[in-house]
């Protein structure tokens, strides 16, 4: 959520930069500025009347002490009028605050100046492509066929138990999932991230804190009886550790990692791109999160991108790095890099990680603050990245490493699988 002071001082610039997102912010920003002005004027009147009340109350006390009861009663009548005016101003302020909150929730984060214009993922800027795409002297099979042939994943049984998008991993497929978890967590811990194991359900305040609510309410699974939400990513509970927290400046950078299952309704996702592991309602992921000093957040973003690169390279997968355009940028992000691995049998690039800097957008909702060296309270910057999401990584491993008689396992995973070939 953008800060009111930032909107007040930079309204025209914000409107122009939001156009990169294809978001017309003129009307809502103008209304926010207008309401903010009305709020400050009302607050000034309230403060003036409250001050006058305090003076009169003191005067009444002095009059009673000196025996001037009649004069004191006259002042008391005036106090009653002021109390009524103060009450009306309080009511008006609450109404304005409620309107402002609703409007601020509608405004996405302002894109960083290097975010390219564009309408969809087709307009994302490819920064670099790394590694050689595999070649075969036979017709490679897609991962859903390999999973069936080698009894790694049972999509039909998962569909029977729950529904489409909930695969059941079996045998060496399940062991591969466990191997990915251990490998990704070990790598993150070695890179200085402190592991946490958060709850898988969160309350409404937590969802609002990182921006999943109210923007993506329809994409989250909701338990109506308890009014809790299944997490779409570990980013949500981990970042909320610092909701309503005043952080010590010397704690920066705060670095956490966490493994969780993730749950996404993926409403409106249909067609060939959802086959197999390409798009699921439940999947596993290791997430990395940083809370940093504002002056260091883009250094942290570069560090996180380099880290995700390193683990993909250890898995020996060809990948590319994309800078998301405005039209593909998430609601809360100021700048996002996607990491995509190449899927040989599908002949396509699969997104396996998004690494984002939210600047103060989440921290303003969370009230994640710190005191700077001058004692001034400031908002921290928050960042997160997938490191990594399991399904598409597994799809690429199966497809890219297939041979005529099996599937080779990347060397980095062998210590965790206990086998080097399926």
**Domains recognised in the chain with CATH numbers:** 4-104 (1.10.287.40), 121-417 (3.30.930.10)
Q: Would the CA dihedral through 18, 21, 27, 29 be positive or negative?
A: negative
Task: Give the model's confidence band at 57: pLDDT under 50 very low, under 70 low, under 90 confident, else very high.
Answer: confident
* Both tokens assigned to 51: 């001050």
Q: Is 48 annotated as a binding residue?
A: no
pLDDT digits 0-9 by tens, 289-338: 999 999 999 999 999 999 999 999 999 999 999 999 999 999 999 999 99
Count how many Cα atoms sit within 13 Å of the Cα of residue 61 in the half-sphere of its side chain.
6
Whether 270 has a pLDDT exceeding 60, the answer reads no
Can you tell me the distance from the alpha carbon of 16 to that of 117, in angstroms, rounded to the nearest whole number? 12
Instruction: Output the pLDDT for position 277.
Output: 97
Q: Would the CA dihedral through 113, 114, 116, 120 be positive or negative?
A: negative
Q: Which of 246-255, 261-270, 324-333, 356-365 has the lowest mean pLDDT?
A: 261-270
pTM of the model: 0.93
Q: Is 94 annotated as a binding residue?
A: no
Question: What number of residues does the chain have?
Answer: 422
Instruction: Output the pLDDT for position 139.
Output: 96
Angle 399-404-408 from CA coordinates, rounded to 5°: 50
* Both tokens assigned to 248: 């010590």
Q: Which residues of 300-325 are buried (b: 16+ CB within 10 A; e: fewer)?
A: bbebbbebbbebbeebbbbbbbbbbb
Q: Which of 69-83, 222-236, 252-266 has the lowest mean pLDDT?
A: 69-83
Helices (H) and strands (E) counted in the chain, each on its own, are: 12, 18
Can you tell me the distance from the alpha carbon of 381 to that of 362, in angstroms, rounded to the nearest whole number? 8
Can you tell me the distance from the alpha carbon of 93 to that of 235, in angstroms, rounded to the nearest whole number? 34
Q: Strand 168-169 and strand 201-202: pairing?
A: unpaired
Can you tell me the distance from the alpha carbon of 146 to that of 173, in angstroms, rounded to the nearest whole number? 11
Dihedral pair phi/psi, residue 384, rounded to 5° = -155, 160
Q: Is 182 annotated as a binding residue?
A: no
Can you tell me the distance from the alpha carbon of 276 to that of 294, in angstroms, rounded to the nearest whole number? 41
Task: Give the model's confidence band at 266: pLDDT under 50 very low, under 70 low, under 90 confident, else very high.
Answer: confident
Q: Is 352 annotated as a binding residue?
A: yes
Neighbours of 291 (CB within 10 A): 28
Q: Which of 55-64, 239-248, 393-402 has the lowest mean pLDDT?
A: 55-64
Instruction: Output the pLDDT for position 80.
Output: 76
Q: Strand 282-292 and strand 381-389: pairing?
A: antiparallel
Whether 200 has a pLDDT exceeding 90, the answer reads yes
Q: Strand 369-371 and strand 402-403: pairing?
A: unpaired
Q: 285 has which bridge partners?
A: 260, 389
* Both tokens assigned to 131: 């590694």
* Both tokens assigned to 253: 């950078």
Strands (DSSP E) found in 118-169:
125-130, 153-154, 168-169
Can you tell me the distance from the alpha carbon of 295 to that of 350, in angstroms, rounded to the nearest whole number? 33
**Which one, of 398, 379, 400, lies nearest residue 390 by Cα?**
398
Q: Is 233 annotated as a binding residue?
A: yes
The whole-angstrom distance between residue 32's C-alpha and the CA centroid of its chain comes to 24
C-alpha separations of 295 from 96, 192, 291, 372, 383 in Å: 33, 20, 12, 12, 13
Instruction: Output the pLDDT for position 271.
Output: 56
Contact 155, 167 (CB under 8 A): yes
Dihedral pair phi/psi, residue 143, rounded to 5° = -65, -30
Q: Is 124 annotated as a binding residue?
A: no
> Which residues have CB under 8 Å from 39's CB, separation 6+?
93, 96, 97, 100
Q: Would the CA dihedral through 50, 53, 55, 58 be positive or negative?
A: negative
Instruction: Output the pLDDT for position 58.
Output: 80
Q: Is 316 annotated as a binding residue?
A: no
- Residue 242: in which H helix or E strand, if any? none
Place of tokens 């070939």: 421
Q: Is 384 annotated as a binding residue?
A: yes
Q: Is 129 annotated as a binding residue?
A: no
Q: Is 365 annotated as a binding residue?
A: no
| Average pLDDT score over residue span 154-182 | 98
């Amino acid at each position: 959520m953008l800060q009111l002071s930032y909107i007040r001082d930079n309204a025209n610039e914000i409107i122009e930069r939001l156009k990169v997102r294809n978001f017309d912010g003129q009307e809502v920003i103008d209304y926010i500025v207008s309401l903010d002005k009305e709020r400050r004027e009302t607050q000034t009147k309230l403060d003036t009347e409250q001050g006058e009340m305090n003076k009169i109350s003191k005067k009444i006390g002095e009059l009673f002490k000196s025996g001037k009861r009649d004069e004191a009663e006259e002042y008391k009548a005036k106090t009653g009028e002021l109390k009524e005016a103060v009450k009306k101003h309080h009511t008006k302020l609450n109404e304005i605050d409620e309107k402002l909150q609703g409007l601020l929730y509608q405004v996405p984060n302002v894109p960083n100046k290097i975010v390219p214009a564009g309408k969809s993922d087709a307009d994302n800027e490819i920064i670099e492509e790394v590694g050689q795409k595999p070649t075969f002297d036979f017709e490679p099979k897609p991962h859903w066929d390999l999973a069936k042939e080698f009894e790694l994943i049972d999509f039909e049984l998962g569909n029977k138990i729950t529904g489409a998008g909930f695969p059941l991993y079996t045998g060496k497929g399940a062991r591969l999932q466990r191997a990915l978890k251990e490998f990704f967590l070990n790598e993150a811990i070695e890179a200085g991230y402190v592991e946490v194991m958060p709850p898988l359900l969160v309350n409404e305040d937590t969802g609002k804190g990182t921006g999943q609510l109210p923007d993506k309410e329809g994409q989250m699974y909701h338990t109506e009886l308890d009014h809790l939400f299944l997490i779409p990513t570990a980013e949500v509970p981990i970042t909320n550790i610092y909701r309503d927290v005043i952080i010590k400046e010397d704690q920066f950078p705060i670095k956490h990692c966490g493994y969780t299952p993730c749950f996404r309704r993926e409403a409106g996702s249909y067609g060939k791109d959802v086959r197999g592991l390409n798009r699921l309602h439940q999947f596993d992921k290791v997430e990395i999160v940083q809370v940093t000093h504002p002056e260091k957040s883009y250094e942290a973003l570069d560090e996180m991108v380099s880290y995700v690169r390193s683990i993909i390279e250890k898995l020996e997968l060809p990948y590319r790095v994309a800078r998301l355009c405005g039209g593909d940028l998430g609601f809360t992000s100021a700048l996002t890099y996607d990491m995509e691995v190449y899927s040989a049998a599908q002949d396509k690039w699969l997104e396996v990680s998004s690494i984002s800097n939210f600047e103060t957008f989440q921290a303003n909702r969370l009230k994640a603050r710190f005191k700077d060296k001058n004692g001034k309270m400031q908002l921290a910057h928050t960042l997160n990245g997938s490191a990594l999401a399991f399904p598409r990584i597994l799809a690429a491993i199966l497809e890219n490493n297939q041979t005529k008689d099996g599937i080779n396992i990347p060397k980095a995973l062998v210590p965790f699988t206990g086998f080097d070939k399926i």
